[in-house]
Amino acid sequence: MHRSGPPLTRRALLGAGVVLGAGAVLPGCTGPRPAEPLVIAGGVQPGVYINLARTLSEIWHERLGLPAAPRVLETAGSAQNMELLTDGRAAVAISQVDVAADVAARVTGPTEPRALARLYDDVTHLVVRADSGLRSIADLRGRRVSVGPSGSGYQPIAIRLLDVAGIGVAGLGTRAELGLPDAATALVEGRLDAFFWSGGVPTDGVRELAARVPIRLLELGGVLDRMRERHPVYSVATVPANTYGLPGPVSCLSVRNALLVTEGMDADLARALIRAAFDEQPRLAQASPAAVTVDSRSAIGTQPIPLHEGAVEFYRAAKGY
């Protein structure tokens, strides 16, 4: 990643309006003032979100000279993260941009979501056993299906896909709300016919499932155009052949993940946070291969969530915006 300027110092942070001390606040903020140490809304354990959040906490603790590392919260995922961010219980969050956009549509002012960077893209998997007779999303009618846990980012995607397919949640035989480990076990044990999951490719949990029992991903090509017409925030992705032992490539849905703050965060602090993250990009890539390709050009692609003023300043200085 692009480096710009000298290392951050305590004096620089004080100049940015950050009071370094237990229980201190950010006097430069016009919205909810997150107490020090900063709080980061992460994700489920194990998972990419929580790994990146913990690594960011270490980076910001070291490079910003904070007296304590930012606290990382284990959460259900994007929906819960956005709730924590906009009600002031977290200063930073990782979320899918579709979930963030839904929140931004009903929140205005200092608590409105703003992006620091696009991190990586998730791909929606619709997983079945290889010996299943299910061939498309339309075949899920009357079946036992997990749409993901409440508070996760992929449950809204699953519900939208089912609606576009003309099934809806009501058309399922059984609706389960399981996280990836429990859904995988239920599929192996024959208690589920299919489950939705959204994550990087390959996802370790899905790869581990494929080592236990042969699986397939259902082709979503038949509903992707209609899905994107209704919800332009999504893109089309392809899971390559031989991933998870698949016999051929599969068309799926993808959605961007972003590092988010609120409009009310001090611009100098926001710039300091993203600059420190870019300076330590190899550590982020080590925490998750999903972060390997993040650079100052791809990171600005956070639409429909606008970049925070401090992030805009950083990318302009980095000549990537």
Q: How many angstroms separate the CA atoms of 201 and 219, rounded? A: 15
- Count of domains for the chain: 2
In a shared domain, residues 289 and 251:
no
* Same domain (yes/no): 126, 247: yes
Residue 1 lies in a domain: no
Separation CA 237–CA 224 (nearest Å): 10
DSSP assigned state of 37:
S
41 and 100 within one domain: yes
Q: Note whether residue 2 is domain-resident.
A: no
- Which of 255, 275, 291 is a domain's end point? 255
Instruction: Provide the β-strand partners of residue 219.
Output: 136
Q: Which residues in 270-299 are b (16+ Cβ under 10 Å) and which e?
A: bbbbbbbbbbbbeebbebbebbeebebeeb
Same domain (yes/no): 158, 271: no
Residues 283 and 244 in one domain: no
Q: Per residue in 88-143, pLDDT tens?
A: 999 999 999 999 999 999 999 999 999 999 998 999 999 999 999 999 999 999 99
Q: Whole-model pTM?
A: 0.81
User: What tens digit of pLDDT does each residue of 85-95 get?
Assistant: 999 999 999 99
| Domain CATH code at residue 148 | 3.40.190.10
Query: How many whole angstroms separate alpha carbon 161 and alpha carbon 123?
Result: 13
Burial of 1 (0-12, 13-18, 19+ CB in 10 A): buried
- Residues 154 and 211 occupy one common structural domain: yes
CA 111 to mean position of chain CA atoms = 19
Over range 176-195, report the average pLDDT: 97
179, 218: one domain: yes
Which two three-digit tokens encode residue 12? Answer: 């620089």
Structural domain containing residue 286: 10-119+257-317
